[in-house]
C-alpha cells in the first residue's frame, strides 16, 4: 500500500472516532430516578416535629397560666373573706357599742353593784350574780370577736396586696411565654401548611381523618396540652382543651353533622356541632364564622381561631369540648388520636 493510501485510511479511522465521541457527547445525561414521595404517615411525622418546636414555650405558657389562675382564685377567696369579716366586724362593733351605752346609762359598775345588792333573797342574789356573770362573759366574747376579726382582716388585706403583686408578675411571665409560643407557631406556619397540602394531595385533595376517624379541629400549626380540670376564673374548672394557634387559622368540623353558630359571654363567638354519631362538639373564642347554621361534612371549614368572649385581649385559641349527647369528657386523648 502506498504512503498516500495509508494516510487516507488513518484519516478515515480518525474521523470515525471523532464522530462516535461527538455522538456520545450529544446523548442526554441519564436523569436520576425520582425520589419516592413521602407517605401520609411520614408527612404526619413531619407535622408532629414542627409542632414539637413550639412545645417548650407552650408548656411554659400553660404553667404560667395555671399559676395566674391559682393566684386569682386565692385573691377571690381572700376578697370574699374580707367582705364577710367586714360585715361581722360592723355587727360586733355595733353590739359592743350598745353594751357600752347601756352600762353608761346604768351608771357603770355602780349600777351593776346596786342591781346585785337589791336582791331580796339569797336565791335572788345568786340568780342576779349568775345573770351578771353571763352578761360579762358575753361581753368578753364580743370584745374577743372584734379583736380576732380585726386581726384576720388585717392579715387578709396584707395577703391580698402580696398576691396582687404575685399576680402582676405571673401575668407578665405568661405574656412572655405566650409571645414565644406564637413566634414559634408563626415561624413554622408556611412549612406546616405545605406539609398539610402534601397530605391532601396524597389523599385525593382532601384532608384525611386521624387514626380514630375524627379530623383535628384546627387546620394549621398549633399547641395544646392536657388542662382538663385546671382552675379557671370564677372558681370554675376547665372542661375542655385549649388549642393555641395564630389568629385566623382555619377551624374545621371534626365529623359530619349540623353546626349552630352562637355567642355567649364566656365563649364569645362559638359553634356547637351535633355530629351524626350522636356526639356534641363545642368550639369557643372564634374570631369569625365561615358561613351560618347548616349541615357540614367532616373537615369542612366552619370558622377561624380568635380570642372572643372572656379570652378577649388574651391568647388566640379554640376552646374545644366534646362528649356523647353533651356529657362532656376530656378531649385531650381524642385530640391526640385525631393527629
pLDDT tens, residue by residue, 98-119: 655 555 555 455 455 555 555 5
pLDDT tens for 319-336 read: 999 999 878 999 999 999
93 or 206, which is more confident: 206
Structural Rg of the chain based on CA atoms: 40
pTM of the model: 0.69
Flag whether pLDDT at 29 surpasses 60.
no
Cite the residue boundaries of each domain of the chain with CATH code 1.10.287.1700: 58-185
Cβ proximity of 150 and 89 under 8 Å: yes
Cite the residue boundaries of each domain of the chain with CATH code 2.70.70.10: 209-336
116 or 83, which is more confident: 83
12 or 73, which is more confident: 73
Mean pLDDT of the chain: 80
304 or 3, which is more confident: 304
Helix ranges, the chain (H) = 3-26, 40-52, 55-105, 109-117, 122-187, 189-202, 332-336
| Dist. CA 226–CA 246, nearest whole Å | 19
Cβ proximity of 327 and 280 under 8 Å: no
pLDDT of residue 280: 97
Flag whether pLDDT at 258 surpasses 80.
yes
294 or 174, which is more confident: 294
- CATH class of domain segment(s) 58-185: mainly alpha
Q: Which fold has domain 209-336?
A: Glucose Permease (Domain IIA) (2.70.70)
Residue 310 is given by DSSP the state G
Task: Pull the grid cell for residue 29.
Answer: 445525561
Mean pLDDT within 196-201 = 92
- From first CA to last CA, the distance across the chain in angstroms is 85
Q: Output the CA–CA distances (angstroms, integers) from residue 129 to 109, 114, 118, 135, 204, in the order listed.
A: 13, 11, 11, 10, 98
Amino acid at each position: 500500500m502506498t504512503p498516500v493510501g495509508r494516510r487516507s485510511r488513518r484519516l478515515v479511522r480518525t474521523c470515525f472516532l471523532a464522530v462516535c465521541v461527538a455522538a456520545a457527547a450529544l446523548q442526554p445525561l441519564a436523569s436520576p430516578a425520582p425520589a419516592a414521595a413521602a407517605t401520609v404517615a411520614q408527612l404526619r411525622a413531619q407535622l408532629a416535629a414542627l409542632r414539637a418546636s413550639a412545645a417548650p414555650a407552650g408548656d411554659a405558657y400553660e404553667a404560667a397560666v395555671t399559676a395566674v389562675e391559682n393566684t386569682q382564685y386565692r385573691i377571690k377567696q381572700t376578697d370574699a373573706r374580707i367582705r364577710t369579716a367586714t360585715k361581722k366586724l360592723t355587727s360586733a362593733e355595733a353590739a359592743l357599742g350598745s353594751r357600752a351605752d347601756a352600762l353608761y346609762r346604768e351608771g357603770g359598775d355602780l349600777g351593776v353593784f346596786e342591781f346585785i345588792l337589791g336582791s331580796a333573797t339569797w336565791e335572788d342574789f345568786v340568780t342576779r350574780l349568775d345573770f351578771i356573770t353571763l352578761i360579762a362573759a358575753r361581753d368578753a366574747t364580743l370584745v374577743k370577736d372584734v379583736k380576732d376579726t380585726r386581726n384576720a382582716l388585717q392579715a387578709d388585706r396584707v395577703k391580698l396586696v402580696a398576691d396582687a403583686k404575685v399576680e402582676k408578675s405571673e401575668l407578665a411571665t405568661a405574656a412572655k411565654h405566650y409571645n414565644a409560643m406564637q413566634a414559634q407557631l408563626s415561624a413554622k406556619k408556611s412549612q406546616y401548611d405545605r406539609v398539610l397540602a402534601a397530605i391532601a394531595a396524597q389523599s385525593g385533595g382532601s384532608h384525611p381523618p386521624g387514626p380514630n376517624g375524627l379530623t383535628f379541629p384546627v387546620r394549621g400549626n398549633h399547641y395544646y396540652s392536657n388542662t382538663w380540670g385546671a382552675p379557671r376564673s370564677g372558681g370554675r374548672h376547665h372542661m375542655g382543651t385549649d388549642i393555641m394557634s395564630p389568629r385566623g387559622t382555619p377551624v374545621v368540623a371534626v365529623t359530619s353533622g349540623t353546626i349552630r353558630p352562637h355567642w355567649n359571654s364566656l365563649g364569645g363567638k362559638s359553634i356547637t356541632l351535633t355530629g351524626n354519631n350522636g356526639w356534641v362538639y363545642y368550639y369557643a373564642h372564634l374570631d369569625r364564622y365561615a358561613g351560618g347554621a347548616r349541615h357540614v361534612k367532616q373537615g369542612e371549614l366552619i370558622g377561624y381561631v380568635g380570642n372572643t368572649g372572656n379570652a378577649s385581649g388574651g391568647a388566640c385559641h379554640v376552646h374545644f369540648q366534646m362528649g356523647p349527647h353533651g356529657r362532656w369528657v376530656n378531649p385531650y386523648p381524642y385530640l391526640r388520636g385525631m393527629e
